[in-house]
Chain A
Amino acid sequence: MNLTLHLWRQKNAHDKGHMETYKAEGISPDMSFLEMLDTVNEKLMQNGLDPIAFDHDCREGICGACSLTINGIPHGPEKQTTICQLHMRKFKDGDTIYVEPWRARAFPVIKDLVTDRSAFDRIIQAGGFVSAHTGGVPDANAIPIGKVEADKAMDFAACIGCGACVAACKNSSAMLFVGAKISQLAHLPQGQPERKQRAINMVARMDAEGFGSCTNLYECEAVCPKGISVSGIARMNRDLLKATLTHVEGTASAG
């Protein structure tokens, strides 16, 4: 296959950045999208040019590092598929493909297609945990958890923290990400003691990081490679409302 790529190049955080055109030639349909970019990079380096920087690591769709917007869609056209698991057989010979980084104020570009997503770590630091220090916990079977509830917790726990939800949202809202963590722990007895404080702290951190609000377009759910449901956002809002009305401990760290 031969393809034309229009690709975002940006030297560093201070550079303005621009689109540049590349030819990808002799591409096998069995290649993943990132392997296609690898071959473009090999050519660039052979010509002494700076390769295109993009985040990636496991290439199995689980680490959440890869983060490309393909033809305007985060992670590209395939449903529930990270860009590392998207294969070139989904494109046609002669296609023109636009490749951009995540676009969001809270995810500034570091270089080319690499963005800084540390805001997600800081949101988890604000309350995305159970304060269970190592040791001193009961036997794993001491608290039964019904299969249905445990499965629901798992559905939300599947989030890989890639940030596609933010990139897809016109307001750059992080509510699918935050709602997923809040919902995972809300479905488990272990998450109950800190539930209200968690909602208050995580949402406050999310707002402080510059993420926008939800306007119920569900673009986040549509691009989520793990199929996280927007019902998590509703739960986040319910927990936050309940917490602000009934919780008196204030906004001190839940830890």
Chain B
Amino acid sequence: MTLDSKIPSGPLSGKWDSYRFDMKLINPSNKRKYHVLVVGTGLAGASAAASLAELGYGVDAFFYQDSARRAHSIAAQGGINAAKNYPNDGDSIYRLFYDTIKGGDFRSREANVYRLAQVSNNIIDQCVAQGVPFAREYGGYLDNRSFGGAQVSRTFYARGQTGQQLLLGAYSALMRQAGQGTVTLHPRTEMLDIVMIDGHARGIVTRDLVTGKIQSWAGDAVVLATGGYTNVFFLSTNAIACNVTASYRAYKRGAAFANPCYTQIHPTCIPVSGDHQSKLTLMSESLRNDGRIWVPKNKGETRPPNQIPEEDRDYYLERKYPSFGNLTPRDISSRNAKMVCDEGRGVGASGYGVNLDFRDSIKRLGKHVIQERYGNLFEMYERITDENPYEVPMRIYPAAHYAMGGLWVDYNLMSTIPGLHILGEANFSDHGANRLGASALMQGLADGYFIIPYTIGNYFATAKQPKITTDHPEFRKVEAEVGERTKKLLGLNGKRTVASIHRELGNILWEGCGMARNAAGLKKALERIPGLREEFWQNAIVTGEGEGLNIALERAGRVGDFLEFAELLCYDALERNESCGGHFREEYQTPEGEAKRDDENYAHVSAWEYTGVGNTPILHKEPLVFENVKLQTRSYK
């Protein structure tokens, strides 16, 4: 396996422009001869499918939900970044680029991140043209707010439902194409494998979740926009059915998996309240614009929060990071919350929570302003916890949220398998070791609207693969393998439910590979995972039949893949002997408890090659070259 990032030469700011000129084009009348299979219809998948169809390519779009509008991008709350500099506060493409590189703790590619910052402005234009109702000022111009890791206000938002509105924009573009017959939609369809012919990705095998039919689809390229893998922790902010299956199947077929240990633990989630919980709920980071985070100064504090006077409160983020205060990046906020709780100063019944207090901003701005900004989030909080955050501080705690790691891609967003392109959260490319708030929406839409439509044409023009159909024998072979695995899952007739095994896997990972990691804990996790996997294949219960809708089978298939993927996650975390961003190894920290990078030995992307279930994967390294940015210790003090 070779990792060629295909980063164009020349000065940073001109790379994308000159590369676009160098890429080969497909003439309009030839585009319809090419067929693209897009898996996933979140921001990246829906925007890609719509944009490719507009160009004239034939597109099939596959998704497990009943409608493309339900992909989990819909749940993103806070906003989307762009370097418009509308507020005149000093923003620029270069600053967005720099903030993103620094926010990612200098573990991402300069060229990719710069391109992302460049196209960020086009995204906002595109969304407005689609009728996305962004927040506006009275003069009619777009409003901005601040997010973690930046000292400018560059985040565009639509109340606390920005992801929903952006996704509905991309969905409407996709529906427009579907109505014209240029995209064929395949709802309630799950991709279960990739089909490779002559070393190229040429198709997929799917299961129709309603009829149970296993079916092959051929194309000239495959695009995976299947999201992140954070549900490997069982409790996360992801939707219940989010899974690693598509990415993991591609990995098993030869696509390198990059930096799986870069997982983001989001600082502002509603704390765990009991073991009945099926997921954790995020409270948007935007709340940190007006909410102040604190815990009592003293251990064993028993007074209710509103009766604790100012001098007995520790606003620990404002104290330790005066220039960024409550808006320090997510990894740092999360780790500090863990630290104060580990000291015994946490709040709530479990002791694993910190206060997010709006008292001062309600006093300063009035309740109606806070209500207008965050009303829906406050309501959601009250519904779940039965407490009124206008009167008592919210209680929050970090939860698994986003995967910076993902399938390795080059500058064209193509994986190590020719023809297999990976977009959005499913790839590893832009966020390094830590993603800044409001950057996921930006990246998903950048990949789908403005990058893949160019680079896929270049692939078609240069790869020149023969036309194939699903009659090719390779499709029969993969179909048979998928059928075999489905049969094996349906044969599981043990005593333990799949959900309870998944929950145990989550506990193993949260303990061994969660917010803070160390070699001993990771080794222990690596010892426990194969045993649990064994138990799954010996003792899990999967009821029902292969024909028809079978929710037990669906879940078992996904958890089966998580049980293999979890090992990869731990291998990567164990191998990376440094702390950076979301990957905090306790052995590598400064005396103040900040992450300590090792640029000499670890300024590279770790890309893993599959070698069989239970075997140690092979590590390949792509060195990260910094020509424009000076590597520094990240400081938000």
- A28 at interface, CB cutoff 8 A: yes
Contact A12 B548 (CB under 8 A): yes
CA–CA, A121 and B184, complex, Å: 13
Interface residues of B in 49-81 (CB under 8 A from A): 50-51, 54, 65-70, 72, 74-75
CA–CA, A38 and B277, complex, Å: 10
Chain A neighbourhood of B164, CB < 8 A? 62, 158, 160
Contact B278 A35 (CB under 8 A): yes
Question: Which of B20-28, B123-131, B401-409 interfaces with chain A?
Answer: B123-131
Chain A neighbourhood of B187, CB < 8 A? 118, 121
Contact A118 B66 (CB under 8 A): yes
Which of A11, A63, A89, A151 makes the CB contact (< 8 A) with B72? A63
A132-B552 CB under 8 A given contacts A57-B240, A63-B72: no
Instruction: Give, as a whole number of angstroms, the nearest-CB distance from A2 to chain B.
Output: 15
Contact A59 B278 (CB under 8 A): yes
Q: What sequence of 0s and 1s flags, for each residue 117-160 of chain A, a beta carbon within 8 Å of any chain B beta carbon?
A: 11011101110111111110111110111110011011001101
Contact A35 B276 (CB under 8 A): yes
Instruction: Give, as a whole number of angstroms, the nearest-CB distance from B506 to chain A.
Output: 15
CA–CA, A191 and B132, complex, Å: 11
Contact B66 A153 (CB under 8 A): no
Chain B neighbourhood of A12, CB < 8 A? 548-549
Interface residues of A in 75-89 (CB under 8 A from B): 78, 80-81, 85, 87, 89
Question: Which of A167-175, A182-190, A216-224 interfaces with chain B?
Answer: A182-190
Contact A39 B72 (CB under 8 A): no
Chain B neighbourhood of A34, CB < 8 A? 278
CA–CA, A122 and B383, complex, Å: 33
Interface residues of A in 10-30 (CB under 8 A from B): 11-12, 28, 30
Contact A60 B380 (CB under 8 A): yes
Question: Which of B167-175, B253-261, B316-324, B463-471 interfaces with chain A?
Answer: B167-175
Question: Which of A47-55, A206-214, A232-240, A242-250 interfaces with chain B?
Answer: A47-55
- A204 at interface, CB cutoff 8 A: no
Q: Tell me the count of chain A residues lying within 8 A, CB to CB, of chain B.
A: 82
Chain A neighbourhood of B369, CB < 8 A? none
Chain B neighbourhood of A141, CB < 8 A? 84, 86, 141-142
Contact B70 A63 (CB under 8 A): yes
Instruction: Give, as a whole number of angstroms, the nearest-CB distance from A84 to chain B.
Output: 9
Chain A neighbourhood of B66, CB < 8 A? 55, 65, 116-118
Contact A255 B176 (CB under 8 A): yes
- B336 at interface, CB cutoff 8 A: no
Which of B124, B176, B380 makes the CB contact (< 8 A) with A129? B176
CA–CA, A166 and B132, complex, Å: 25
Q: Nearest residue in A to B372 (C-beta to C-beta)? A: A151
CA–CA, A137 and B74, complex, Å: 24
Contact A85 B380 (CB under 8 A): yes
Which of B136, B281, B499 makes the CB contact (< 8 A) with A42? B499
- A46 at interface, CB cutoff 8 A: yes
Interface residues of B in 115-153 (CB under 8 A from A): 122, 124-142
Chain B neighbourhood of A5, CB < 8 A? none
- A251 at interface, CB cutoff 8 A: no
Instruction: Give, as a whole number of angstroms, the nearest-CB distance from A17 to chain B.
Output: 14
Contact B140 A146 (CB under 8 A): yes
- A74 at interface, CB cutoff 8 A: no
Q: What sequence of 0s and 1s flags, for each residue 574-597 of chain B, a beta carbon within 8 Å of any chain A beta carbon?
A: 000000000000000000000000
CA–CA, A161 and B552, complex, Å: 26
Chain B neighbourhood of A126, CB < 8 A? 179
Chain B neighbourhood of A130, CB < 8 A? 129-131, 172
Contact B125 A111 (CB under 8 A): no
- A56 at interface, CB cutoff 8 A: yes
CA–CA, A161 and B66, complex, Å: 11
- A101 at interface, CB cutoff 8 A: no
Instruction: Give, as a whole number of angstroms, the nearest-CB distance from B447 to chain A.
Output: 12
A129-B541 CB under 8 A given contacts A30-B274, A60-B380: no
Contact A140 B125 (CB under 8 A): yes
Instruction: Give, as a whole number of angstroms, the nearest-CB distance from A163 to chain B.
Output: 10
- B450 at interface, CB cutoff 8 A: yes
Contact A58 B74 (CB under 8 A): yes
Instruction: Give, as a whole number of angstroms, the nearest-CB distance from B522 to chain A.
Output: 30
Contact A63 B276 (CB under 8 A): no
Contact A60 B126 (CB under 8 A): no
- B478 at interface, CB cutoff 8 A: no
Contact A46 B278 (CB under 8 A): no
CA–CA, A121 and B179, complex, Å: 9
A144-B541 CB under 8 A given contacts A161-B67, A188-B131: no
Chain B neighbourhood of A187, CB < 8 A? 133
Contact A31 B141 (CB under 8 A): no
CA–CA, A184 and B131, complex, Å: 8
A38-B278 CB under 8 A given contacts A118-B66, A125-B175, A144-B141: yes
Contact B276 A128 (CB under 8 A): no
Instruction: Give, as a whole number of angstroms, the nearest-CB distance from A63 to chain B.
Output: 4
Q: Nearest residue in A to B67 (C-beta to C-beta)? A: A121
- A253 at interface, CB cutoff 8 A: yes
A38-B499 CB under 8 A given contacts A134-B173, A154-B158, A157-B168: yes
- A165 at interface, CB cutoff 8 A: no
- A64 at interface, CB cutoff 8 A: yes
Q: Nearest residue in B to A155 (C-beta to C-beta)? A: B133
Contact B240 A145 (CB under 8 A): no
Contact B54 A45 (CB under 8 A): no
Instruction: Give, as a whole number of angstroms, the nearest-CB distance from A7 to chain B.
Output: 15
Contact B185 A121 (CB under 8 A): yes
- A179 at interface, CB cutoff 8 A: no
Q: What sequence of 0s and 1s flags, for each residue 469-505 of chain B, a beta carbon within 8 Å of any chain A beta carbon?
A: 0000000000000000000000001010101100000
Which of B133, B142, B453 makes the CB contact (< 8 A) with A184? B133
Q: Which of A59, A78, A161 has the most CB of B within 10 A?
A: A59
Which of A44, A57, A122, A150 makes the CB contact (< 8 A) with B241? A57
- B507 at interface, CB cutoff 8 A: no
Contact A134 B51 (CB under 8 A): yes
- A114 at interface, CB cutoff 8 A: yes
A51-B274 CB under 8 A given contacts A121-B67, A132-B126, A137-B129: no
CA–CA, A147 and B127, complex, Å: 17
- B543 at interface, CB cutoff 8 A: yes
CA–CA, A116 and B65, complex, Å: 11
Q: Nearest residue in B to A39 (C-beta to C-beta)? A: B276
Q: Nearest residue in A to B50 (C-beta to C-beta)? A: A134
Chain A neighbourhood of B70, CB < 8 A? 57-58, 63-65
CA–CA, A185 and B178, complex, Å: 20
Chain B neighbourhood of A158, CB < 8 A? 159, 161, 164
- A110 at interface, CB cutoff 8 A: yes
- Given contacts A118-B67, A132-B129, A150-B140, list 4 more A-B pairs with CB under 8 A: A57-B70, A65-B66, A121-B175, A144-B139
A-B CB proximity, top 6 nearest: A144-B140, A125-B179, A129-B172, A137-B129, A132-B129, A153-B133
- Please name 29 pairs of A and B residues whose Cβ atoms are closer than 8 Å in the assembled complex, sorted by A: A12-B548, A42-B497, A45-B543, A48-B493, A51-B551, A55-B66, A57-B239, A64-B69, A65-B70, A85-B380, A87-B384, A114-B549, A124-B172, A125-B175, A126-B179, A130-B129, A130-B130, A134-B450, A138-B129, A140-B134, A147-B136, A150-B136, A157-B158, A157-B165, A161-B67, A184-B133, A190-B128, A190-B129, A255-B176
Q: Residues on A close to B: CB < 8 A?
A: 11-12, 28, 30-32, 34-35, 38-39, 42, 44-46, 48-51, 53, 55-65, 78, 80-81, 85, 87, 89, 110-111, 114, 116-118, 120-122, 124-126, 128-135, 137-141, 143-147, 150-151, 153-154, 157-158, 160-161, 184-185, 187-188, 190-191, 253, 255
